[in-house]
Structure 1
Amino acid sequence: MSASNLDRKEQWDIVSEIPSLHGKVAIVTGANSPTGMGYNVAQQLALKGAKVYVSARSLEKADDAIKQMKEAYPSLARGNLLHPLALELGDLQNINAVAAKFAAKEERLDILVNNAALLARPLDLDKNGISVSFATNHLAPFRLTTALLPLLKKTAAKHPGVRIVNVGSDQHLKLPQGIQLNNIGDFNQSFGSTDSPESNLHRYGLSKLANHLFSAELQRRLDADKVPIVAIGLHPGYVLTDGASRHIDKYHADIRESITSRSLTPLGGALTTIFAAAHPEVWEKRDLYGGAYVEPYGRVEQASEDARDPVLAANLWKASEDVLQSIGA
């Protein structure tokens, strides 16, 4: 198990060590809430000079987030670095159109941060008959990334350092071994109940396992094609976002104080993502970080046995493509 030297530093060194990102273009999904990680990732990348598309479910939410960032940091109001991106990840059929519109507008994309996700929830199905959790947390970022891949590859050919960051979770480590991900039935696994704390967490973990398998398989494919892009999956730590706070109230109210005392702030939780997206060490040691599973604040750790299974990763990729094609996405 290898580790970055960042585990021997103060965590806040990460931000100070990010170089100027002037000229780079980034997308951060799920970036509309000041109490969320995505908002803080987007804000910090912009403060370093990147042109950042703040993605939210609606233009109104994205614009409101940008307004708050500019109020907090007046320099952002002068730089024209923050731009809204309306992206409803629950609408799988519309993601290609959003990506195509973006690619027609921008000539480059240096950083794609797939941050948006739903926390543990009951087993509910979307209009396509797919688990809402799995569709939003895996299929949506899978479709967005693959749709934007031509632009990412074009950027990488001219501008070194392109990153694709998938925000996962260590919850994937707690799944039973031997998971299969070959079809919608596998995507909709109940883990024994449609609504119990344990089964809901397992379904969340399943979607996060898919995130890490996707990162690893994407890196394998990029490497095979000799494309200089780093794809990286990570666990941001236990972060006290609004969503996490509501989850604690619903399922773990009796131990709220214990959980919250060990939790990171949204900005603290954003640090590992910021590291993955922009720290020079990731590019300098891309053989180490490419396709890796990273924990705070930049440590390469060992993912679960299933997450390291290349056959499972390849099966998931094919199943994801098949399912999306079958629903016209």
Structure 2
Amino acid sequence: MRKTVVITGGNSGIGLSMAHELARMGATVCLACRDQGKAAAARDEILQRTPGAQVELYKLDLSSFAAIHAFVQAFAQRHDRLDALINNAGAVPIRQQFTQDGFELQFGGNYLGPFLLTHLLLPLLQVAADEGGPGQGDARIVHLSSIAHNLGRIELDTAKGRKPYRVLPAYAQSKLGNLMFSHTLARKLPAGITSQAMHPGGVASPIYRELPRWQYALMRPFLIGPERPGKLAAELAIGAQRRGENGGYFSIQHPRIVSSTAKDLALQEALYKQSCVWADVEPLPEQVRTRQAVKPA
């Protein structure tokens, strides 16, 4: 059966490379993007490279809870199951901005939006997880974190704004949140659904579009192309060799360090419970589940 995969922000950069690789692997690629013009151009590029690929476009703005609900409703009208979700989209605004629900944009769009999206898509992931019997199937969630999570601190009082606003602490907190959410899901998800996180490396990507030109020019020689992280994400999402792996953290480049903060179970739980309140979702119960050893990548 053809796998169905949702990629947030799959119209450029790393997300587009993921989409190319997934299309090559035979998946139905669902591009969930804010800019539908860019999404259409991405679909054309994918079809040029992989004729006959199945590519669907959906409108999704992760900075709006209402838009996230609308996307899930639209997706569920076309699909009764989901094999993999890749939480890829992110933003790094150099000036403080806010989501439609009043959260600082990096915390709200990079972390809290994917948090809500993941919970709303769990029923469709559960269908894939139960194929062949309860918990006997294979559904997966992949989160884009960053090595910058090591600089992050969870400061819940900054969720709705920072004074002063500093872009790196805000970004690092959002990426720490992504990794902690992945670890939390690895403990809480029922059998048949797994959660993994990855650092894509320093990638030449539109995420840096708001940086001053001189600053990007200094960074550019040290950045890699999006192809390698795209392949890793696709492998984690549907690769047969990754089936059953749960709770891992992967990176294209060294070092592959996971901060002690990201492993703090009490802090994971505090962030999770507060995020459920903010996103207005029911918390998942704790599952009695072992974490399968993962291969370094």
Which category of TM-score, normalised to the shorter sequence, fits these structures? 0.7 to 0.9
Of Structure 1 and Structure 2, the greater helix share is in 1
Determine if the alignment matches structure 1 residue 311 to structure 2 residue 275: no
| Contact 1:238–1:269 under 8 Å retained in 2 | no
Determine if the alignment matches structure 1 residue 168 to structure 2 residue 142: no
Give the Å deviation of 1:208.
0.4
- Cα distance in 1 between the residues matched to 2:69 and 2:80: 17
Residue 6 of structure 2 aligns with which residue?
A: 27
CA distance 1:205–1:230, shift in 2 (3 Å): same
Give the Å deviation of 1:300.
10
Of structures 1 and 2, the one with the larger relative CO (CA 8 A, separation 6+) is 1
Residue 293 of structure 2 aligns with which residue?
A: none
Map residues 131-146 of structure 1 onto 2, 5 A cutoff.
131-146=104-119
Q: Which moved more, 1:138-147 or 1:100-109?
A: 100-109
Residue 9 of structure 1 aligns with which residue?
A: none
Residue 8 of structure 1 aligns with which residue?
A: none
- Cα distance in 2 between the residues matched to 1:107 and 1:175: 37
Residue 16 of structure 1 aligns with which residue?
A: none
Could you tell me which amino acid in structure 2 is paired with residue 273 of structure 1? A
Q: 1:187 aligns with which of 123, 138, 159?
A: 159
| Contact 1:152–1:162 under 8 Å retained in 2 | yes
| Contact 2:148–2:172 under 8 Å retained in 1 | yes
Could you tell me which amino acid in structure 2 is paired with residue 292 of structure 1? G
Residue 279 of structure 1 aligns with which residue?
A: 239
- Cα distance in 2 between the residues matched to 1:248 and 1:241: 14
Query: Unmatched 5+ residue regions in structure 2?
Result: 282-297
CA distance 1:294–1:135, shift in 2 (3 Å): same
Q: 2:174 aligns with which of 185, 200, 207?
A: 207
Could you tell me which amino acid in structure 1 is paired with residue 139 of structure 2? V
| Contact 1:168–1:212 under 8 Å retained in 2 | yes
Determine if the alignment matches structure 1 residue 130 to structure 2 residue 130: no
Q: 1:149 aligns with which of 122, 126, 133?
A: 122
- Cα distance in 2 between the residues matched to 1:87 and 1:245: 20
| Contact 2:84–2:237 under 8 Å retained in 1 | yes
Look up the SS of the partner of 1:108 in the other structure.
coil
- Cα distance in 1 between the residues matched to 2:248 and 2:93: 24
Q: TM-score, normalised by structure 1?
A: 0.77
CA distance 1:189–1:272, shift in 2 (3 Å): farther
Could you tell me which amino acid in structure 2 is paired with residue 213 of structure 1? M
| Contact 2:128–2:138 under 8 Å retained in 1 | no
CA distance 1:100–1:242, shift in 2 (3 Å): closer
RMSD (CA atoms): 2.3
Cα deviation, 1:17-44, whole Å, max 9, x if unaligned, reads xxxxx511011110112xx110110111
Look up the SS of the partner of 1:158 in the other structure.
coil
- Cα distance in 2 between the residues matched to 1:275 and 1:119: 26
Map residues 111-122 of structure 1 onto 2, 5 A cutoff.
111-119=84-92, 121-122=94-95
Map residues 233-312 of structure 1 onto 2, 5 A cutoff.
233-244=197-208, 246-247=210-211, 249=213, 252=215, 256-257=217-218, 259-283=219-243, 286=245, 290-296=246-252, 301-312=256-267
Cα deviation, 1:129-173, whole Å, max 9, x if unaligned, reads 210111110111111110000110111111733210010111011
Residue 277 of structure 2 aligns with which residue?
A: 322
Give the Å deviation of 1:120.
5.0
Determine if the alignment matches structure 1 residue 158 to structure 2 residue 131: yes
Residue 295 of structure 2 aligns with which residue?
A: none
| Contact 2:30–2:55 under 8 Å retained in 1 | yes
| Contact 2:80–2:124 under 8 Å retained in 1 | yes
Cα deviation, 1:272-322, whole Å, max 9, x if unaligned, reads 3223223333225x1xxx12221117x994411111111111111111121
- Cα distance in 2 between the residues matched to 1:44 and 1:135: 29
Residue 192 of structure 2 aligns with which residue?
A: 228
Cα deviation, 1:104-145, whole Å, max 9, x if unaligned, reads 321221111010000253332234321011111011111111
Could you tell me which amino acid in structure 2 is paired with residue 55 of structure 1? A
Determine if the alignment matches structure 1 residue 66 to structure 2 residue 16: no
CA distance 1:57–1:37, shift in 2 (3 Å): same
